[in-house]
Copies of this chain bind each other. A is one copy, B any other.
């Protein structure tokens, strides 16, 4: 019998598994040392009264196989919100069976239901999943470069001149 794969919104009970998968994905991205998130951070940000970030989990025969963590971004050109996918992760043992596509399909459905014209995310340049994303119709916006100010530079930038 083929396995049953389902996607559902995450609940507070999923926080330990979500944090575990955030760490598994960061390890794959060679950035485990950058993970500072705790279960308490996730409870506070994913499950307040008015959340501004959302999580879905995918289960295969009842086992948590992956997740998508996303929020609403915005395009001034469209005057509309979009869906920004912060993290997409499928555990290695569940890859290749349509699990990742089902997560992205769920997010695409949310876009259409809510009138969000774009689904966007960042991918590391060496990530072999780029080819998979392109087969699903995603295109690389290579002309755009993300910039970041944080840490001491952010404190300095906040100082009046």
For the complex, give the distance between the alpha carbons of A37 and B82 in Å.
14
State how many copies of this chain the complex holds.
2
Which A residues, 79 to 121, have Cβ-Cβ distances below 8 Å to chain B?
A: 79-81, 84, 86-87, 98, 101-102, 104-105, 108-109, 111-112, 117-121
Q: Given A72-B52, A145-B122, A146-B140, verify A36-B77 contact (CB < 8 Å).
A: yes
Q: Are A149 and B22 in contact (CB under 8 A)?
A: no
Contact yes or no, A146 B149, CB < 8 A? no
A8 within 8 Å of B by Cβ? Answer: no
Given A105-B158, A153-B137, residue A118 in contact with residue B148 (CB < 8 A): yes
**Complex contact A139–B144 (CB within 8 A):** no
Set of chain B residues within 8 Å of A53, measured between Cβ atoms: 74, 81
* Cβ–Cβ contact B147 & A78, under 8 A: no
A85 to B86, CA, bound (A): 16
The 8 Å CB contact of A125, one of B36, B123, B143, is B143
Contact check, A138 vs B153: say whether CB atoms are below 8 A apart.
yes
